[in-house]
Amino acid sequence: MISKDTIEQIIYYARIDEVVGDFVPLKKRGSNMWGCCPFHNEKTPSFSVSPTKGIYKCFGCGKAGNSVNFVMEVEKKTYPEALRYLAKKYNIHIEEKEVTAEELAAQSEKESLRIINIFANKYFQTNLWESDEGKSIGLSYFRERGFRDDIVKKFELGFSFEERKALTKAAIAGGYNPNYLVKTGLSILPERYANETSLTDAHLFDRFAGRVMFPIHGVSGDVVGFGGRILGNSKEVAKYLNSPQSEIYDKSKILYGLYFAKKSIQTEGFCFLVEGYTDVIAMHQAGIENVVASSGTSLTVEQIKLIQRFTNNITILYDGDAAGQKAADRGTGLILEEGMNARVLLFPDNDDPDSYAKKVSSDELKNFIKNNSHDFITYSASRISEEEKKDPIKKTAFIRHIIDNIALIPDSISRSVYIKECSRLVDVEEQILSLEVNKIRIDKETRKQKDKNRQHPFSTDPAPVKVDSALPTSILPEQLQFVEVDERQLKLDVFDSIEKNICRVMIMYGNQLLDVEVYNSEGDLVTMQISVAEFILFELFHDELNFINPINQLLLDEFIHQMREDVIPGESFFLMNTNPAISQLAIQLTQEDHQLSENWAAKHGVHTEHEAHDIKKMVERILYVYKDKRLQDMIFELKESLRDNANDDDVFITLSEIRKFESFKARVNKLLGRVIVK
């Protein structure tokens, strides 16, 4: 388990702008940096990074946090995994305290799978560079393909021995759990041994035996899987073999080469998309680094969204054969539907980026790509011959293909621009094309709504149909929605809102001093100064009030713990807290500024002025409102209990309690009125 001192050191050194900048292009604006949020689709940057506070906040989707929270969210890592990632990035030695057997048993399976992959990656590289078999077969293959040694090392390429159990034996001998070898897919467990409870190398064999190896890195650089290429021309086995699906590898959500490309993509402002591992490597060798591959799988929406973290511009570089054209058409549609800009370049027939890059110089390759990549409409137009344009049926099909793609574009301005360009290219009136595009969009939304209704036949929430204003459409009938209100939940939401406001005030103003009147030991009324934090805690302790929401209470407990050490913690203590639940809540509260206070005050008909003008009045107001709501709830619960009371004594006691709480409530209301009414 990572020690607290190490956690504090990691949080201290992990600069939020550097950590986020590895995943999101940021531009400085004022004291903060801004970019497009990686957690939801947007075109206008609403994602703010504050280097001085060490936090991020998206004003679109509401996500907020510090460096550790960001890595956890964007990389789907656990808290310890995120800390290890940042420690590696900043070369921080991790001190670990001794863990119990239970803690060891609870260690993340994902972490174990990553550790196995690290071992395998080093093992394959050692085979390639240090063994006779690796050098004569694997390294010779890469050199024959024209790859320089420095490029081979950059991509950590390797070699798996022909011997069917070589990796399995080496891993088990090194103390690695054979079950994790199977879960990563590095080893295969034959069905006849499926019921074995204690696996050994006798039960397993290597998946990638006799192949050159391409490690697949996640965005943060972790090896999540492998691709292996057979060296012979046998048709009995697959040329390329990938790791199977695992807890850390989902090929539909991974792009080969993105870890090596992300900086260049940000710098260049666009990304090249190719099909295979060697295409990526060849482009890097030619000096073009902003390139990724879908690595043996059809392009997916998840992969496109990965690229969208770094740019909105994608150029597809596929083979020029029929299969390449088909893949480019499909990929273009997916890219446009995600609101991104798509360009296409198909290499001459029988060539791919790898082979073409070896035929020409680096400058010639760059110029070829620059001069031959086109937006999707121009690309589509280039594929129809003059003879086909004269054939009405073929021309109609060609136009239909283009407007089908235009209809996928979510942004109405972009659609309008492409419709205008299409009209010019195909010599069809712009208004006719616009009507057809909108018809496609309406049909699509109608089908989606029908599918939704079939899946949820009692749903009454209609999906809005977004169309261009130029097209007259009939309005869908409005439908009523009946919602069952959970009264108890509404009360809890009110308590939570006020509790969070109290926490926010303590974080932001806890050190400020208030003048309060108290009775001294001689019974005289005197004025003394105490901090806002002390005043709030005294008021809560005096009435024996704990917070109802456990997360809010967790932050309050941290305040109490620090103040017992004679420290009133400030804002940075909570923003950078080693407990991710506390830091997340603190960031959420402080980034909302005083809006939280304004919201609940307005909801309850309370007049407010800017909180900084009179801290004491603001603190008293929040506390009295909270006490009033809690007393109201207590009275309600007591009155409800009267229904079940059959004993006269119990009824008498309950009525006495109700009168007592109503008396307290009257006093609080009087104080509340005196504080707020001017």
For 51-101, how does the pLDDT look when each residue is reduced to its tens digit (9 = 90+)?
A: 888 888 888 887 888 898 898 888 878 788 888 889 888 888 887 665 555
Supply 332's token pair.
């273009």
Of 210, 120, 217, the C-alpha closest to 167 is 120
Q: Which of 37-41, 164-168, 494-498, 550-554 reaches the highest mean pLDDT? A: 164-168
Question: Distance between CA 164 and CA 103 in Å, rounded?
Answer: 35
Reported confidence tier of residue 471, pLDDT bands at 50, 70, 90: very low
pLDDT (tens digit, 9 = 90+) per residue, 486-512? 556 667 788 888 899 999 999 988 888
Question: Distance between CA 41 and CA 411 in Å, rounded?
Answer: 12
Of 40, 84, 209, the C-alpha closest to 138 is 209
Q: What is the pLDDT of residue 603?
A: 53
Reported confidence tier of residue 186, pLDDT bands at 50, 70, 90: very high
Q: What is the pLDDT of residue 488?
A: 62
Stronger pLDDT, 317 or 647, i.e. the higher one: 317
Question: Distance between CA 570 and CA 507 in Å, rounded?
Answer: 6
Question: Distance between CA 290 and CA 317 in Å, rounded?
Answer: 12
* Residue 114, C-beta contacts closer than 8 angstroms, at least 6 positions apart: 222, 223, 224, 248
Q: What is the pLDDT of residue 609?
A: 47
Q: What is the pLDDT of residue 146?
A: 93
Q: What is the pLDDT of residue 573?
A: 86
Mean pLDDT of 208-217: 96
Question: Distance between CA 157 and CA 153 in Å, rounded?
Answer: 6
Of 533, 549, 630, the C-alpha closest to 588 is 549
3-state secondary structure of 566: coil
Mean per-residue pLDDT of the chain: 82
pLDDT at residue 124 above 90? yes
Which pTM does this prediction carry?
0.62
Angle between helices 109-130 and 79-89 in degrees, nearest 10: 40
Q: Which residues pair with 291 in a beta bridge?
A: 272
Q: What is the pLDDT of residue 470?
A: 40
pLDDT at residue 456 above 70? no
Question: Distance between CA 225 and CA 215 in Å, rounded?
Answer: 6
Stronger pLDDT, 642 or 365, i.e. the higher one: 365
Mean pLDDT of 18-44: 85
Burial 479-506 (b: 16+ CB within 10 A, else e): eeeeeeeeeeeeeeebbebbbbbbbbbb
Reported confidence tier of residue 368, pLDDT bands at 50, 70, 90: very high
Question: Distance between CA 142 and CA 151 in Å, rounded?
Answer: 10
Question: Distance between CA 211 and CA 137 in Å, rounded?
Answer: 9
Reported confidence tier of residue 476, pLDDT bands at 50, 70, 90: very low
Supply 1's token pair.
């388990």
Task: Report all structural domains of the chain as residue ranges with CATH numbers, in order of start.
Answer: 4-105 (3.90.580.10), 109-249 (3.90.980.10), 252-372 (3.40.1360.10), 384-458 (no CATH), 487-676 (no CATH)
**Do the bridges between strand 313-318 and strand 271-274 make them parallel or antiparallel, or are there none, so unpaired?**
parallel
Q: What is the pLDDT of residue 100?
A: 54
Mean pLDDT of 161-187: 93
pLDDT at residue 596 above 50? no
Question: Distance between CA 185 and CA 205 in Å, rounded?
Answer: 10
Q: What is the pLDDT of residue 489?
A: 66
Mean pLDDT of 285-295: 92
Map 610-632 to HEC letters.
CHHHCHHHHHHHHHHHHHHHHHH
Q: What is the pLDDT of residue 612?
A: 52
Reported confidence tier of residue 102, pLDDT bands at 50, 70, 90: low
Of 50, 21, 19, 16, the C-alpha closest to 33 is 50
Stronger pLDDT, 454 or 393, i.e. the higher one: 393
